[in-house]
Amino acid sequence: MVNMKVSLSGWQLDNPIIPASGTFGYGKEFAEFYDINCLGTFSFKGTTLNERFGNPTPRIAECPAGMLNAVGLQNPGVEHVIAHELPEMKKYFSKKLIANVSGFSVEEYVKACALLDREEQVGLLEVNISCPNVHNGGMSFGTEPKAAYEVTKAVKAVCKKPVYIKLSPNVTDIVSIAKACEDAGADGISLINTLMGMRIDLKARRPILANTTGGYSGPGVFPVALRMVYQVYEAVKVPIIGMGGISRAEDVIEMMLAGASAVEVGAANLADPMICKKIIDTLPAVMEKYGIDNLSEITGGAHHG
């Protein structure tokens, strides 16, 4: 009998499979397809201090080996999430959750994180300094070590629960940014968010997305994500949640060997709403195939053979 349990900053999960923020909503629609309590946990829809309508449409564009999105952090705001969404989620998900938080200033991050940190349902906070689909905020904090340090330090000052910083791949040196977050007190790192991309409508001769550019996700980004997780693992001592193009159990093993303690599944949820359950169901057989008894023991295994 294989052991799929993993740990994130002392929080033990039944398995490492976590639907990524922005691809799973608040879980309600997926709970109609299967019992989502089989998940390790899930990262619910990215939350900002204030309500956001998001970007104009069209927001989605297909592309080879993935998709582009420019949703723009549409959400009802943190107070609505606490008053309405968290109580609703408790009806169909009995485990603690990951709260994904975005902001447009250090003060916004601090206020939203402080409110969610008080909620009993929240197991850890995933602070998104990497969103490529909004202007004047989000990713701007994740592209420079000093800014990443400042956000991390400010959020850690008001939070008792573990704080994981979600990083952007749209940088020249992700390692320096990860180290800055660790130096500022981050309990963990999440990576990667989407890669910047675009598509052009050949008939209209203009960009398909109203936002012009969007975040590229799906199987095509997996090798990039794997490389960045590998590099960051060698530079920091805190746990890593790896993500980017994961769609099968073999991807989970590969990402954990690169250095991830757990993984998030993103775009694959939009192509197949059952994908996380399928990965969980097939993971034991894949573990046995590769001689893995305890999944938590393989983290970083590719670094030392």
Provide the number of structural domains found in the chain: 1
Does residue 220 register a pLDDT over 60? yes
Residue 142 has what pLDDT? Answer: 82
Does residue 137 register a pLDDT over 70? no
Residue 143 has what pLDDT? Answer: 85
Whether residue 305 is contained in a domain is answered as no
Residue 188 has what pLDDT? Answer: 98
Which of 131, 159, 181, 276 does the annotation list as catalytic?
131
- In tens, the pLDDT along 51-104 reads 999 999 999 999 999 999 999 999 999 999 999 999 999 999 999 999 999 999
- What φ, ψ does residue 127 adopt, rounded to 5°? -95, 110
Q: Which residue, 257, 145, 255, 134, is CA-closest to 190? A: 255
Preceding amide of 280 cis, omega within 30: no
- In tens, the pLDDT along 272-303 reads 999 999 999 999 999 999 999 999 999 999 99
Domain range spanning residue 254?
6-299
Residue 130 has what pLDDT? Answer: 74
Whether residue 17 is contained in a domain is answered as yes
| Gyration radius from the chain CA atoms | 18
- In tens, the pLDDT along 143-179 reads 899 999 999 999 999 999 999 999 999 999 999 999 9
- Active-site annotation holds for 131: yes
Whether residue 144 is contained in a domain is answered as yes
Distance of CA 99 to the CA centre of its chain: 10
Does residue 134 register a pLDDT over 60? no
Residue 305 has what pLDDT? Answer: 66
Whether residue 1 is contained in a domain is answered as no
Instruction: Provide the percentage of residues in the chain whose pLDDT is more than 70.
Output: 96
Whether residue 304 is contained in a domain is answered as no
Burial of 298 (0-12, 13-18, 19+ CB in 10 A): middle
Whether residue 270 is contained in a domain is answered as yes
Euclidean distance between CA atoms 142 and 132, whole angstroms: 10
Does residue 193 register a pLDDT over 60? yes
Whether residue 56 is contained in a domain is answered as yes
State mean pLDDT over 30-48: 98
Confidence of residue 204 (pLDDT cuts 50, 70, 90): very high
Residue 278 has what pLDDT? Answer: 98
Residue 131 has what pLDDT? Answer: 62
Whether residue 104 is contained in a domain is answered as yes
- Other residues' Cβ atoms within 10 Å of the Cβ of residue 233: 25
* Reported pTM: 0.96
State mean pLDDT over 12-41: 98
End-to-end CA, the chain: 24
Does residue 192 register a pLDDT over 60? yes
- In tens, the pLDDT along 225-264 reads 999 999 999 999 999 999 999 999 999 999 999 999 999 9
Does residue 123 register a pLDDT over 80? yes
**Residue 28 maps to which CATH number?**
3.20.20.70
